[in-house]
Structure 1
Amino acid sequence: MADTQPTTESGPIAVAPQYGLAMKRRGPVAVWLGLPLITLGIYQLVWYYKIHKELNEHDRRQNLSPAGSLLVLLFLSWTLIAPLISFHNTGKAIANAQRAAGLQVTCSPAASTWLAFVFGLNVWYMQRELNRVVEAYPGTTPGTQVPLAV
C-alpha cells in the first residue's frame, strides 16, 4: 500500500494545529535537593507524579500514566531495574515534549537513567530539561493552552 495523503480537489487537506497545556517551571536544585530534604523524600514522589501529569497534559499524543509511574517508584524500587526503566521512559517523554514545543531535543533518556547513580542527579537533570520546554512559551502561566509543533 503506497503512502498517500488525503487530498481535495484544491490540494492536500490542512492539518489542524495541536494544542496542549503549559507546564510549571520549578527550580532544579530545589527539586533535587532542597525540598526532598525538608520533606524526608516525599516531595520527590510528588514531583514525579506532577511532571508525568504535566507531560501528559502538555502533549496528549503521549500516553503517560502518572499514577503508574509513581507506583513503580513506590512498590518496585527494590528491584532497581524498574525505576531505571521508568527514568528512561521519563527521559523519552521529556524529549518528546521538547520536540512538541518545537525545540531541539537535548534530553537524553540514557542520562535520565544513569545520573540516578550519581547522587540522584537525574532529578536535577530532568527538571532542567523540563524547564527548557516551559521557557519555549515565554509569558504563559501553567495550565494555559499553548500551540504544539507538528
Structure 2
Amino acid sequence: MTTSQFPGAPAQQPAYGSTHHYGQAPYAQAPYGQAPAFPGYTGQPMPPVPAGAYIPQSGPIGKVRGTGVVILLTIVTLGIYGLVWTYSVHEEMKRHTGNGLAGGLALVLSIFLGFVTPFLASSEVGAIYERMGRAKPVSGATGLWYLPGFMILVGPIVWFVKANGALNAYWRSLGAV
C-alpha cells in the first residue's frame, strides 16, 4: 500500500526536517478557514520547534487561584489552606504533564520538610513552561525568596506572588478562566 492510498496523505513523503507531516498544518497554525485547535491561542507564535523534536501531550488544565485569596485563606485557616494549595497545584501539574511530584508526596514533604516546598513548587512551574518551549518565569532558585523573610513574611509573600502568578498565567494561556 502506498502513501497515496491513505486518506489525507501527501502524494510524496515530506522532505527531511520539514514542518508539514502527512497533510497537517505546521505547529501552532490552524488550517486555512478554521479556528485554532489550541485553547487560549492568541495569535502570538510559539518559539520554533526543532525538526524531529517531541511535542509533549498535555493532560487536563489546572485551576486559576487568585493570589490574594490564597494568601488570605492561608492566614485565616492558620496555614491549613497553604497545604491544600500545595496538594492541589502539584496534583494538577502532575496530571497535566505526567512529570513532577504528585499532590500526596508534595503534601507530605510540605508537612515534614516545609522549607523545600518553595523550591519544588517554583521549579515545577518553571519546568512546565520549559516543557512547552517557553521561557521560565520562575525556577527552583525563586524559592530563595522564601528563606530570608521566613519570620517577617515579606520573602514568602514575594515568592508566592511570583510562583502562583506564573502558574496562573500558564493555565490562562491554555484557556483556563
- TM-score when scaled to structure 1? 0.69
What residue is the counterpart of 1:88 in the other structure? 119
Secondary structure at the aligned position of 1:23 is classed as coil
What percentage of aligned pairs have identical amino acids?
Answer: 24
Which of residues 70, 75, 92 in structure 2 aligns to 1:37?
Answer: 75
Secondary structure of 2:59's counterpart equals: strand
Pairs within 5 Å for 1:1-150: 10=13, 18-31=57-70, 33-60=71-98, 62-77=99-114, 83-84=115-116, 86-118=117-149, 119=153, 120-121=156-157, 122-138=159-175, 140=176
Q: 1:75 to 1:133 in 2, by over 3 A?
A: same
Q: Which runs of 5+ in 2 are unaligned?
A: 1-12, 22-51
The amino acid across from 2:140 in the alignment is P
Deviations 1:51-98 (A, max 9, x none): 1001101111x1323212211221234xxxxx23x4222222101112
- The one-letter amino acid paired with 1:134 is W
Q: State the structure with more CA Rg.
A: 2
Asked if 1 retains the 8 angstrom alpha-carbon contact of 2:122 and 2:143, the reply is: yes
**1:115-141 Cα deviation digits (max 9, x unpaired):** 343312222221111011112113x46
Alpha-carbon contact 2:93-2:100 (below 8 Å) kept = no
- In terms of fraction of residues, the more strand-rich structure is 1
Superposed CA deviations along residues 28-50 of structure 1, whole A, max 9, x for unmatched, are 1222x211122121000000000
Name the aligned partner's letter for residue 37 of structure 1.
I
AA partner of residue 73 (structure 1) = S
The question of whether the paired residues in 2 share the 8 Å contact of 1:52 and 1:65 is answered with: yes
- Could you say which structure has the greater relative contact order, defined with CA pairs below 8 angstroms and 6 or more residues apart? 1
Greater fraction helix: 1
The alpha carbon displacement at 1:100 in A equals: 3.3
How many residue pairs get aligned? The number is 124
Q: Which amino acid aligns with 2:107?
A: L
Unaligned runs of 5+ in 1: 1-9, 78-82, 142-150
